[in-house]
Structure 1
């Protein structure tokens, strides 16, 4: 029978057993901890890989969707070209009645001036009873309340009298404008009646004026096709002779479809075959000739024409002289009886033009192979009338009064009432406009400035003062030049609209008016294409350098609406106004910093090519400001858990940078800045400085003039 050892040896043995058990327990715990760490690391790696795959998948889906959208747009353009003649024949024919204007003007809409000033309520001025018999403190309180009431009543009466005075002046101005509008409408309609009578008599000038107007105003042509026409009328032969501009070879898209190549992270454009493009272009030219003939004969409600000669040309440059020249690609003499027998919706346009009407169509129009016109307008006798020949007025050279009248015409074409002001005592207002819309309408004051240099912020500030002085609903500043970030920052959140020169030309064109910003229309179009290439999304230059592009994606919690901006600086001063990238200037001039659509989970994104920033730039400052149009009463107290996710364009994460939370009372915040180190590397420094005055205060500190 065994027994437990006692004494010193037994004690020592028990200690050894305890130590072994403790060591084994420690080793087991260490192994368990190591396994748990490995498990967590594997889980984190799987989550990171899953997040990266999801981001890459979202980026790829977006690029593939963009490629499909571009392909669909190309297909839609080609479909429009193929059905040009059929769609044009379905459009309503031009008639003399289309030239008449209804004798009505927009009703008087005083806006806020039509609302009487509320008078103070005497009951709101009764003092609280203090007890007693109306002596002492009670009587004094009653007298003070009566004095306050009388003071407020007199102030309200004065404000109401001023409102009625301004309302009467505004109504008088409206009545004068309405009378002028009605008189102009009646003169116009009387002229239409005279034109119709002269047209029925076959007077050459009236015939030419009417049918060129029919061509120029036809609703059957898609946007973007030229409308240049020259015409004369041979009254003896009852023949109209036209030169009609045809679209250039570029009207047929060179690209047939777009595919996204994920391996190279770029779009691949598949070129349309030369045979397909040439065949379609020739078909389009024939359709344009037939549609122009259709518009002319359909507009002839009085049987004035027996035949029409139409010569189709494109504008080109004579290589010998360098001057513009007309290259004729089609010509036809169409008798009315022969044309009336055609079913234009079913014909093959080239066969119809060449075989059915015995006309001529260039065999190689893409090479400008010419045909010989049968008869030119100058050979038909009488004067030649031209429309849409590119002689738009140069807005830079226009007389100031004519420029203001053109701006007033634009507002009238947009459905508003507008009159130019007198040159003296106009208070800085060039055009008074009245928008009849019951919700967004009201009085609008307009300033028109023919500038060549950037409009200073002081002009925007002065317009805002005028809006407040005259009680207008909105102020509009129109210029032939452009606005800097300072002007846009001041106008943000205020009832101001800024229209730069390029926007003005586009508005004029869309509402049937003419105007250009210097140079010839051809050079303008080339400049517009160049500008589009330079300012588009991922142009070829940027696409080739995607590996050098960093994506700064910003995310935060909270529902506050924010504008995220970037400033390219030297020290604490922005290099120039165009180096301030924000909602109205989405890219720097060199394209090194761009605002781009954010990919979830980011709420905003800035793409930067750090290595291509100007040599003098030593920091890129990121800021966030409350959007006053989305959240006019918000501050940055709802801006928290903000991070900048640094990645490449494919979505591969590089780093994540924490930035400061917002604070109550502040509406703009410096998130942080990327700073160039001596060795050329860039490091991030967290910001945190807030501004109660919003983006205006912030950018002024960095040297941008706002007001």
Structure 2
């Protein structure tokens, strides 16, 4: 018995030892796997950060390459011709939408079928037939009345279209007739015609990147057959200050390598020389009527004069180029600086980064006669609208203050120093919504950067103001509007500023040149859309929304719950939006090419987007639909109430092709990717459901897709 007991004890000890060893082996294996996982995760994280740093460096190199290749690429752009201004007489066809389809008329047999198969007596059967016939008669009368109403509405809509088409056609013919007169005036050496034509040539050019300014004042001397131009140059900041970005694993930070000052200055001087040479090339290439013997170009920047401290036009480069000398150049092969300074005997600032000016050549104001700025009316003419771009900065701030006073507020401009980023201070006496307002005034020509909006928000908080207003002569990008959404900020772009000035009896214009986004599109579109006034208030009942263009689809979105949402679309390549202009939302209702547009929705939809899949940019491989809580409508809402959502895919006639389900929202999240249409290798598009949510609202979502948010 003792021996058996001892053997059992030994067996139990051996079993426990084996189990302990196995547990220890499993623990060591787990620790090795965990360590391997951490190493792999760390390696993957390091590779990701290094790749991000490489991409940042590549972007910097690409920016510099664009600047260095400006002249060569610009010379490859097509020359401007008068024919590009001719507008086509082809109008948008008559498209009445739902009014085009007759009202279906009821059939008697459909009502008789309801009583077939009855086995009642003859009296009951006769009564049933009379009731069926009565129902048919009522339905036919209702359908007939509806059809007559449709025909009446269709005729009214047709008359509206005919009036619109006649007005459009008359305007197009007046425009084209004016071009014929312009060509005759050019051949006769008319100064106004010359300035108008060559200003249009510079603005219609596709040779200039969007980030570079396109600002010009011009005059023409018919006696010397000389065009005199003042052309705005890019500022020093256009050359990236950073040369490369490298990830440092030890500190888990990116290290930026500064571009040497001498290299950055050399790049900037070369860019300024390229700009002047490219202006000369554009003007001479557009001279199809042979009216130019020489061209003078003064390149300037708007900045604070280092001598006086006041904002002024500082000429950093100037050249007078006879046609004979310029036509002998091969611009694609030249060194821009040497060509400008040595070949054409022009002037170029040795230290443009320090705003060291050069002696300007002949200026447009010295020519005599009218000077045209930005392709518009003559500047400085007594009763003309003042050009906000050319206005003295202090006068511009005073004009903005006067606008606020005209709107019923108290407003004063601040001192030039120590203003803390405030140009105008205003007080709105209105109860509840009123209070102290700080105003910043930006006389820009390009899109205001999002950082300016963030700076304004910081000023509002620092000053304890009720609201901040940013007034500019330019425009704002999606990132600025997204940051301002839901904050006590108001953005006033140039177009809206001019409208406000006129509304309150003040004067001002934005040069008069074509809107920058329309450069290169030609003066006339092949298919202008019907204006909003085609459905005037009090007019006949016509389609609630505009007809869908041929080849386009409508994505109608509906959901349960009472949460107020903004539905947006992003045109992407991979996971990155093509550009800020390819983010369609409430302040950017269409992409530049018009392939994606927001549109008024019709029941049962709560939002709608119009998409031409076949005309999306070639490099775009997905269209992403997103939804975000509207913080102004309900600042405390989240997507918990976003349920039973769907997307209806509609054809041109408004017929439902497919219904696409999307995931519900979740509590705490304020933005959601609904889904994306992805381009297949064969060119078809496939819908992929989304579902990723964001707690930081539209701002967080947009950052992930590469949209800069202030």
TM-score band w.r.t. shorter chain: 0.5 to 0.7
Equivalent residue, structure 2, for 1:73? 59
Alpha carbons of structure 1 residues 352 and 25: separation in structure 2 relative to 1, 3 Å? same
Give ranges in structure 1 of 5+ residues lacking alignment: 1-12, 443-472, 476-484, 512-560, 568-573, 583-621, 637-666, 674-694, 700-707
| Cα separation, partners in 2 of 1:284 and 1:55, compared to 1, 3 Å | same
The 5 Å alignment of 1:166-565 reads: 166-318=153-305, 323-387=310-374, 389=389, 390=445, 393-396=494-497, 398=499, 416-420=529-533, 424-425=537-538, 435-440=548-553, 489=565, 499-501=585-587, 503=588
Larger radius of gyration: 1
Counting matched residue pairs gives: 488
Q: Distance in 2 between matches of 1:180 and 1:51?
A: 71
TM-score normalised by length of structure 1 = 0.59
Q: What CA distance in whole angstroms lies between the structure 2 residues aligned with 1:48 and 1:627?
A: 41
Tell me how far apart the structure 2 counterparts of residues 29 and 500 of structure 1 sit (CA, whole Å): 72
- Pair 426,269 (structure 1): closer, same or farther in 2 beyond 3 Å: farther
The 3 A distance-change label for structure 1 pair 205 and 564 is closer
* d(CA) in 1 for partners of 2:351, 2:169: 53
Report the CA distance shift for 1:423/1:564 in structure 2 as closer, same or farther (over 3 A).
closer
How many angstroms apart in 1 are the aligned matches of 2:563 and 2:591?
21
Q: Counterparts of 2:189 and 2:557 in 1: how far apart (Å)?
A: 50
C-alpha change, 1:474 and 1:486, in structure 2 (3 Å) is: closer
Shift of 1:359: 0.8
The separation in 2 between residues aligned to 1:307 and 1:387, in whole angstroms, is: 21
Distance 1:186 1:314 in 2: 39
CA–CA distance in 1 between the matches of 2:208 and 2:626?
41
Classify the secondary structure of the residue corresponding to 2:329.
coil
- For residues 633-687 of structure 1, the C-alpha deviation after alignment (integer angstroms, 9 at most, x for no partner) is 7587xxxxxxxxxxxxxxxxxxxxxxxxxxxxxx4554899xxxxxxxxxxxxxx
Q: CA deviation at 1:243?
A: 0.8
> 1:115 — aligned with what?
101
Task: State the alpha-carbon separation in 1 of the partners of residues 66 and 166 from structure 2.
Answer: 44
Report if aligned partners of 2:321, 2:344 keep a CA contact under 8 Å in 1: yes
Contact between 1:94 and 1:214, CA under 8 Å: does it hold in 2?
Answer: yes
The residue aligned with 2:82 is 96
RMSD of equivalent CA atoms: 4.6
1:151: how far off? Answer: 4.7
Mark the CA change 1:489 to 1:50 in structure 2 (over 3 Å): closer, same or farther.
farther
Report the alpha carbon displacement of residue 23 of structure 1 after superposing the two structures with TM.
Answer: 3.5
Give the TM-score, by structure 2 length.
0.59
1:257: Cα distance to partner? 2.0
Deviations 1:284-338 (A, max 9, x none): 1111101101111111112211111111111112367654311111111111111
CA contact (8 A) 2:230 2:299 kept: yes
1:418 positional shift: 1.9
- Asked if the contact 2:306/2:355 (under 8 Å) is kept, the reply is no
Deviation digits for residues 120-157 of structure 1 (CA, Å, limit 9, x no counterpart) = 45555413754647636655655555555555444444
8 A contact 1:233–1:380 mirrored in 2: yes
The answer (yes or no) to whether the contact 2:95–2:547 under 8 Å persists in 1 is: yes
Alpha-carbon separation, structure 2, partners of 1:338 and 1:55: 64
Q: CA deviation at 1:180?
A: 1.4
Residues 470-507 of structure 1, C-alpha deviation per residue, up to 9 Å, x if partnerless?
Answer: xxx999xxxxxxxxx998527689xxx98545x47x97
SS at the partner of 2:169? helix
CA contact (8 A) 1:204 1:234 kept: yes
In structure 2, the CA distance between the partners of 1:112 and 1:421, relative to structure 1 (3 Å rule), is closer
Aligned to 1:602: none
Q: Which consecutive unaligned segments of at least 5 residues does structure 2 have?
A: 376-388, 390-444, 446-472, 475-493, 505-509, 519-523, 570-582, 596-623, 649-657, 671-692, 698-710
CA distance in 2, matches of 1:562, 1:242: 46
- Answer yes or no: is the 8 Å Cα contact 2:202–2:283 preserved in 1: yes
Q: Give the Cα separation in 2 of the matches to 1:563 and 1:236.
A: 61
Per the TM alignment, residue 361 of structure 1 is displaced from its structure 2 partner at its CA by 0.8
Deviation string, structure 1 residues 605-631 (Cα, Å, up to 9, x no partner) = xxxxxxxxxxxxxxxxx9986664499
Match of 2:425 in 1: none
Q: Distance in 2 between matches of 1:106 and 1:566?
A: 36
Moved over 6 A (4+): 400-403, 409-414, 426-429, 506-511, 561-567, 579-582, 630-633
